[in-house]
Every structure is written in structure tokens, then in C-alpha cells.
Structure 1
């Protein structure tokens, strides 16, 4: 890597930081203006809002805006080089567009790798604070409503399924505890009409429970117990989670949660699966938008850099809009969740390849 590459990298990175910082301020101001009444009505102090909530919200903003910020940085720098005829001078001296792409690829790969780690392990931790704050202080936040059709992993190979959970009473209805062996064969099952949390004992109390054990030869042993106390590793707060909580799970935690849902035979888990696969797919938007930015902005336009940035914003928002438009198809099962998460990136990777092939070398 020569001096020119390092110079381009330095300018791209400084532009990236500038646009990320600008977007953070923009998002926070808009969000605060929209929700200030909710903060005031529900008793949130300014200290809590600005020293707890928004600092915890910043990583989520960085996650969402990093592709746009990196794209704008690339478009701005490339457009500036094009408008000042530096690109033409470089190409005239034998530097091809593909050679110029090298520092862009370096920063694209570096930011993509960093954001994969950041999105998968850092953002979930801060999102847990954000979700708890929104539940308490924002009207549109996930409130303490009852939850239906819940599946949680007790231990590896052991699933707890609940038909209905009352968060306030800490009571579950239509409960099933299932245990699987290493071959995913159901070996035992406990069904109960009701399960209550006994805080003094820190146990769950099953009412009218039926215990079944399934032998490899097909025999089934069954007995009924009127009351059974069991110490699960799943607590009331775990049952109170909603589909949004996959956002507050690290990638390993989300993988375990998804595996538990699949083992339990849960239905309507499309939203959770899409959220899980998006954790892997979304960081690649950084690299793909870098590949689009260079050929898109390397052509001089009549409107100058303003036209370059406007076209860049239009392209980036089309990319992000396609991601949001495809998600409902994954939620409903019309598209496989993995395809839903990766389809927009595949489409715009095709756009990037097309632009690179068509660009003036």
C-alpha cells in the first residue's frame, strides 16, 4: 500500500466518522422532539434520558447508519476527485479504476468486519437497556402486556413451551416441558394446565401435571401429579420477553434461542428468524455500498458534488427501503427468512458488479 492509498484511506475514514457523528446528532434530535411529551408524561428525568437512554441508543444508531455514512464518505471523496479532474489525471497516468478501488475495498472490508462484531455482541447489550427504558417511559415501547405462544430453552435439549403468560401475575397457562436426546428424539414431557412463580422459594409450581417418559422401544410411562415444584433456569423475566428481544441477544444467544424454537416445533417464528439472519447480513451493506459508490461517483455530473450526494442518498435509501420492504415476506413465511435477510444485499451486489463493469476504466 503506497502513500496515495494511505491518503485515500485517511480521508475516507475521517469522512466516515464525520457522517456517523452527524447522523447520530440528527437521529437523537428527531427522536427527542418526537418523544419529549412521553418522557415528561411518564416521569423520565433529563438525567435518565441523556445519560442512560441516549448513550445506550447510540450503538443502535451507529449500526443502522454505518452503511449510509460510509457510502456518503466514499461518494463525497470520489465526487470531489472527479470534479477536480484528479481521477482523469490518475487514469491518464495509467492508474485504472480497479486499482483505485483498493483503498476503498480495504476500508469496506474493515468496517464490515468491525460492524459484524459490533452488531453481534455490543449492540445487543445496549439494546437491552434501550428496550427496558422504552417499556417504562414510551407509549410506543413494548409494554407489560400478556404474551402468547412462548418457547424458551431450559437447558441444552430441554424446552419450555407456554400457551399464555400473564406478566403481572407471573402465571403461565398450558405449559409443556420437553426433553430431547442428542438425536433430537423426545424422551420425556411434562404437561400442566397452569404454572405459577413462587417467589419465596424461587421455583415454578405446576398444577395438574401429567408426566410422560418415552422409551426407545415405543413404550410410554405416564403418571399424574396434582402439584409439582420445579426449579427451572427460566425466570419470569425470561417469559416476559417479546419477539423484539432477539435485538438484545448476541449472535450466540440468538442462535440458541432459534434452536430452542425449532426444537419445540413453534409456529410463527418468521420475525425472530429474520431478525437472527439480519444480524449476519446487514454488516455486508457497508462493503456493497462501497463497491457502488466508486463507479457511481467517478463520473463528473453537471450539478457537481451536490448532484453526486443527492444521487448517492437516493441509491442508499433505495437499498435500505428494499430491506424493509422484503422483511414482511419473511415474517409471513412467503419467503424463507434467510433469503429475506440476504436478498436485498444480493440485488445490490449485482448492481455494484454491473456499475463496476460499465465504469470507465
Structure 2
């Protein structure tokens, strides 16, 4: 590695970190101005807002803005080298553009690898704090996906039906637990007006349940209890999914969660799957935008840096816009979730 390579890598990282810091401040100020009324109306203290909410919100901002920050740093640095004829001098001496791209690629690969780990294991933990805070203090909290008429498969041959689920109190109402023999004949059924999650015991408690057993000859045996504690394969989060559940899960936990939802027969999984696959695809935006940025800024143009930065911003926002335009098709099920997560990266690559 030459002195020039180290110089490029150092300058690129310095610009990247500076832009990340600037974007963090910009996002926090903008969000605070937009949300200050909600904070005040719902009694959030300044300490909680800035030392709990925004401190934990910073990793999410870093995740979202890292491709843009790295791309703009690349365009600015490369454009400055081109304007000062340093790139032209290197190419005249026989150094190809691909060789010049090498230190950029090292930085891009390093940032991509770091962001994959950061996005998969650090951001979810802080996002959980952010999600809890938003549910308590913000009107625009993540929307709950399932409210009424929820059906889940507890295990093969066992179905849980819930009329309404309250995420805050972790209580389900108008509950029915049905067990089928060989997937066809109804063997037993438990009906209860209310079912509450008992966290200390890890069980669901049914209030005044009616136990009904159906014999092969068609008879029905009924039994009423004051209460019944039962263990299910389902947990509170399985009944109260929100738009951002996966965002608050590490990759291994999210993988288990998605698999569990599939087994339980949950519907409306488009958003969940797109968010899950985006954990793998989004970090690659750092690498792809660098590969776009160097050739874009290496050519001298009239207007100098202003034109380069303008083209850079247009390219970056086009890239991110395509991503946001494709995602709703994945949410609605009109596009395969894997394709919705990866398509923008494949197109621009």
C-alpha cells in the first residue's frame, strides 16, 4: 500500500465521519422541532428526550445515513483531486482508474462489513429503547399490524383465535384455543373472555374458561373453571406485531421470529420480510455508491465542485428513492420480499 493509498483512505474516512456527525445533528434538530409538542403534551422530560431517546436514536441515524455520507465524502475528495489535476497526473504516469479506485474499495468494504455488524447487532438493541419511548410519548408511534380477528397456529393441529389484543396490557379478548386430530376432526376447544400474559411464570392465564371436549361419537363434554394457566408456543409479540418489530431484533432473533411467524400462519408478513432482508442488503449500499462515486467525480467538469456535488446528491437520492419506491410493493405482497430488498442495489450495481 502506497503513501497515496493511505492518504486517500485517511481523507475519505475523515470526510465520512464529519458528514455522519453533521447528519446526526441535522436529524436530531429536525426531529425535535417536529416532535416537541408531543413530548410536552405527554410529559416527557428533557433528560429522557435527549439522554434516553436521542442517544439511542443515533445508531439508527448512522445506519440510515452512512451510504450518503460515504458517497458524498468520496465525491468531494475525488473531485478535489481531479480539479487539482492529481488524478490526471497519475493516469498520465500509467496508473489506471481501477488502481486509483483500490483505496476507495478498501474503505468501502471495511465500512460495509462494519455496518453489516452494526445494523445486525447494535442498532436493534438501541431501536428497542427508541420503540418503547415512541409508543409512550409520540402520536406517530409505529402502527400495530394486528388488532382484531387474529389467528395463529400454536403447533400442528392447534389454532389460537383472538378477537382483540391489547399490546400495552398484554391481554387478549374473546379467545378460542382449538385442537384438531389429524388436522380435520375438532377434538377439544377452550373458550375464554380474556387471556393475560404472566411474564413471571411465562404462561398465559385464561379467565373463566370453558373446556369443551368432543368425543368420536359426537358427544360434547363441558367443564367450566375459574382460571387456567397454559403454555403456548406463542408469545405477546406474536399477537402484537408492529411495523418496526424486526428493526428492534438482532439478525439471529429476527431469523427465528420470521420462521416462527411462518409456522404460526401469520398473515400480512410483507413488511416484516422486507425489513428482515434489508438487514442484509442495506449495508451494501456503502460499497455500491463508492463504485458509482469515483468514476462520477474523477472527470473534470465546468462548474467544479458545485457541479460534482450536485450530481452526487442527485445520484444518491435517486438510489435511495428507488429503494423507497420498491419497498411498498414488497410490503403489499406485489413483489417478492427478497427482490424488494435487493432490487435497487442490483439495478445500480
Identify the TM-score tier after normalising by the shorter chain. Answer: 0.7 to 0.9
Is 1:312 equivalent to 2:312 in the alignment? yes
Aligned 8 A contact 2:154 2:264 in 1: no
Which whole-Å CA distance do the structure 2 matches of 1:326 and 1:282 have between them? 13
Instruction: Supply the distance in 2 between the matched residues of 1:121 and 1:178 (Cα, whole angstroms).
Output: 38
Question: Offset at 1:148?
Answer: 3.7
Cα 1:191–1:29, aligned 2, differ >3 Å: closer, same or farther? Answer: farther
Say if 2:192 is the partner of 1:208. no
Q: Which moved more, 1:244-253 or 1:144-153?
A: 144-153
Looking at structure 1, the residues matched to 156 and 22 of structure 2 have their Cα atoms a distance apart, in angstroms, of 45
**CA distance in 1: counterparts of 2:288 and 2:337, whole angstroms:** 21
Task: Give the match for residue 172 of structure 2.
Answer: 171
Matches within 5 A, 1:144-223: 147-148=147-148, 162=162, 164-167=164-167, 170-176=171-177, 192-194=190-192, 195-197=194-196, 199=198, 202=201, 203-206=203-206, 207-209=209-211
Q: Which moved more, 1:189-198 or 1:313-322?
A: 189-198
1-structure distance, mates of 2:152, 2:123: 22
Contact 2:135 2:141 in 1 (8 A): yes
Cα deviation for residue 260 of structure 1 reads 1.1
TM-score w.r.t. length of structure 2:
0.86
Name 1:95's counterpart in structure 2. 95
Higher mean C-alpha displacement, 305-314 vs 163-172: 163-172
* In 2, Cα distance between equivalents of 1:136 and 1:9: 43
- Label 1:225 to 1:112 Cα distance change in 2 as closer, same or farther (>3 A): farther
Distance in 2 separating the partners of 1:313 and 1:280: 24
Distance 2:74 2:157 in 1: 48
Using the alignment, how far apart are the partners of 1:285 and 1:13 within structure 2? 16
- Structure 1 CA distance for aligned equivalents of residues 42 and 4 of structure 2: 55
TM-score (norm 1): 0.83
What SS is found at the alignment partner of 2:205? strand
How far does residue 40 in structure 1 lie from its aligned partner after superposition?
1.0
* Structure 2 counterparts to residues 325-344 of structure 1, below 5 A: 325-344=325-344
Q: Residue by residue, what CA displacement relative to the aligned partner does 1:6-45 show, whole Å, maximum 9, x if unpaired?
A: 1111111111101111110111111111111111111111
Could you tell me which runs of 5 or more consecutive residues in structure 2 were left unpaired when the two chains were aligned: 215-219
User: Structure 1 residues 83 and 263, CA, compared in 2 at 3 Å: closer, same or farther?
Assistant: same
- How many residues get paired? 340
Report the aligned-residue RMSD: 3.5
Is the contact made by 2:16 and 2:73 (CA closer than 8 Å) also made in structure 1?
Answer: yes
Distance in 1 (alpha carbons) for counterparts of 2:336 and 2:174: 31
Contact 1:57 1:130 in 2 (8 A): yes
CA shift for structure 1 position 174:
4.2
Taking structure 1 as reference, are residues 148 and 285 closer, same or farther at Cα in structure 2, changes over 3 Å only?
farther
Q: Which residue number corresponds to residue 217 of structure 2?
A: none
CA distance in 1, matches of 2:75, 2:106: 16
The answer for the alignment partner of 2:4 in structure 1 is: 4
Matches within 5 A, 1:64-79: 64-79=64-79
The structure-2 alpha-carbon separation of the partners of 1:330 and 1:225, relative to structure 1 and needing over 3 Å to count, comes to farther
Task: Rate the CA distance shift 1:306–1:240 in 2: closer, same or farther, 3 A.
Answer: same
In the alignment, is the contact (CA less than 8 A) between 2:146 and 2:239 conserved in 1? no
Q: How many Å separate the matches in 2 of 1:236 and 1:131?
A: 16
Structure 1 unaligned residues grouped into runs of 5+: 180-184, 213-221, 350-361
| Alpha-carbon separation, structure 2, partners of 1:95 and 1:158 | 68
Give the structure 2 partner of residue 39 of structure 1.
39
